[in-house]
Chain A
Amino acid sequence: MKEFNESEIIKDLKIDARGVGIPEGAAEIFINRTMKEAKKTLKNKSIITETDLKRVIVKELKKYHKDLAYVYQNRDTIV
């Protein structure tokens, strides 16, 4: 079991966003809004699987940038 580490997720998302070609300012806004919404959704849950967390983040990211959401969704299934 791992503790929820928001800063690690944000760091990964920032790398992905830059890799996908989103300008830094826009990426920051997308990521902050996504994390805010994700935390709101998961507010009542004390334990959550990584898959569920990923699903919630991807669902929120899709609203802002589909390519970023696709990369984040598939980051462990490329090779």
Chain B
Amino acid sequence: MNILEKQPPTCYNLNMNVLISVGILILAMLIMAFLQITPGVFALSYHYAIGKYSKKKASRLMLFFIIGVEIITACVLLSVYYLISILCFGNFQPETSILTWIMIGILFAFSILSAFYYYRRGNSTKLYIPRKFARALDSSAKSIKTNSDAFVLGVISIACELLFILPLFIVSAIELMRLDLHSIPINLLAILLTLAPLFPLFIIHYKFQAGYNLANILKSRSKNKSFNRVILSLSYLIIAVLIICFKVNLQ
């Protein structure tokens, strides 16, 4: 054996299909990062926690909120992935399945919904959720006392957003399943997908640490409402178009 012979470097086989799948996953991450219930509840509970307790305790409570968000997101993604993989063991083929067309329809619907109905009318950052839910979230944020309260509030805030998250996770699970293990680090993509809702929370946390207050954060949220709407709507639309153009077998 020639000892000078070197091992060939690991090279990823990036074909068009893989790039489209990765693109869909990145857009899904973008949407997850732009959804607004969790950052809203986080900012509110951080504000109340600072108002009631020491900075150290407030930071600890928010850490548990973040852990709650991360765990429920990972659990939902894994559950959806598991269900899709069970379907794939049968005769389910995403390219020809009716489920894919249903998902495309839902994605188009969400593209319209996020453009026109994600925020309520007016200058505030009121979201689409029923007012009873919003009031319950508000009073829960106000009454956080223990780490478990914060953890549960993180879980509930993601649960309130499930309507917008579930179709994304179904599409993402299908794409993750389609990706070739040797072509791209799938685990990394899945982890990034579950971490995506945490990005705005870290930004808010950083802002509070840097001396900003709830008023500053609310004003910036209110100012960027239209931008947020456009990003959400376009991302849903592009995912739907990419699936129609590259993933569905039209023959």
Given A20-B213, A21-B211, A79-B41, also A70-B50 (CB < 8 A) = no
Determine the chain B residues whose CB is within 8 A of the CB of A70 once the complex forms: 215, 218-219
Q: Which of B72-80, B133-141, B238-246 contacts A (4 or more CB under 8 A)?
A: B133-141
Residues of B137-183 whose CB lies within 8 A of A: 137-138
Residues of A34-79 whose CB lies within 8 A of B: 66-68, 70-71, 74-79
The interface size of chain B toward A, counting residues with CB under 8 Å, comes to: 27
Q: Given the complex of chains A and B, what is the CA–CA distance between A75 and B48 in angstroms?
A: 11
Q: Is B40 close to A, CB under 8 A?
A: yes
Q: Given the complex of chains A and B, what is the CA–CA distance between A50 and B198 in angstroms?
A: 35
Q: Given the complex of chains A and B, what is the CA–CA distance between A71 and B138 in angstroms?
A: 13
Closest partner residue, chain A, to B216 (CB atom): A67
Q: Is B214 close to A, CB under 8 A?
A: yes
Do A19 and B214 have beta carbons less than 8 Å apart?
A: yes
Do B48 and A15 have beta carbons less than 8 Å apart?
A: yes
Q: Given the complex of chains A and B, what is the CA–CA distance between A67 and B52 in angstroms?
A: 18
Q: Given the complex of chains A and B, what is the CA–CA distance between A76 and B142 in angstroms?
A: 11
Do B138 and A78 have beta carbons less than 8 Å apart?
A: yes
Secondary structure class of chain B's binding surface, majority of residues: helix
Distance from B202 Cβ to chain A, minimum over Cβ atoms (Å): 19
**Which residue of B52, B127, B213 is within 8 Å of A79 (Cβ)?**
B127
Distance from B56 Cβ to chain A, minimum over Cβ atoms (Å): 15
The interface size of chain A toward B, counting residues with CB under 8 Å, comes to: 19
Q: Mark contacts of B215-228 with chain A using CB atoms, 8 A cut-off: 1 yes-contact digit, 0 otherwise.
A: 11011000000000
Do B138 and A20 have beta carbons less than 8 Å apart?
A: no
Q: Given the complex of chains A and B, what is the CA–CA distance between A20 and B129 in angstroms?
A: 27
Give me the interface of A with B, judged by CB distance under 8 Å: 14-21, 66-68, 70-71, 74-79
**Which residue of A19, A68, A76 is within 8 Å of B138 (Cβ)?**
A76
Give me the interface of B with A, judged by CB distance under 8 Å: 37, 40-41, 43-44, 47-48, 50-52, 122, 124-127, 129, 134-135, 137-138, 211, 213-216, 218-219
Distance from B32 Cβ to chain A, minimum over Cβ atoms (Å): 17
Distance from A26 Cβ to chain B, minimum over Cβ atoms (Å): 14
Q: Given the complex of chains A and B, what is the CA–CA distance between A20 and B213 in angstroms?
A: 5
Determine the chain A residues whose CB is within 8 A of the CB of B127 once the complex forms: 79
Given A67-B213, A71-B215, also A79-B137 (CB < 8 A) = yes
Q: Given the complex of chains A and B, what is the CA–CA distance between A67 and B37 in angstroms?
A: 22
Do A79 and B215 have beta carbons less than 8 Å apart?
A: no
Do A79 and B44 have beta carbons less than 8 Å apart?
A: yes
Do A77 and B47 have beta carbons less than 8 Å apart?
A: no
Do A19 and B50 have beta carbons less than 8 Å apart?
A: yes
- By CB atoms of chain B within 10 A, which of A68, A70, A77 has the most? A77
**Which residue of A17, A21, A77 is within 8 Å of B126 (Cβ)?**
A77
Do A67 and B44 have beta carbons less than 8 Å apart?
A: no
28 A-B pairs with C-beta separation under 8 A: A15-B51, A15-B52, A16-B47, A16-B51, A18-B50, A18-B52, A19-B48, A19-B50, A19-B213, A20-B214, A67-B213, A67-B215, A67-B216, A70-B218, A71-B213, A74-B125, A75-B138, A76-B134, A76-B135, A76-B138, A77-B125, A78-B124, A78-B125, A78-B138, A79-B37, A79-B41, A79-B44, A79-B138
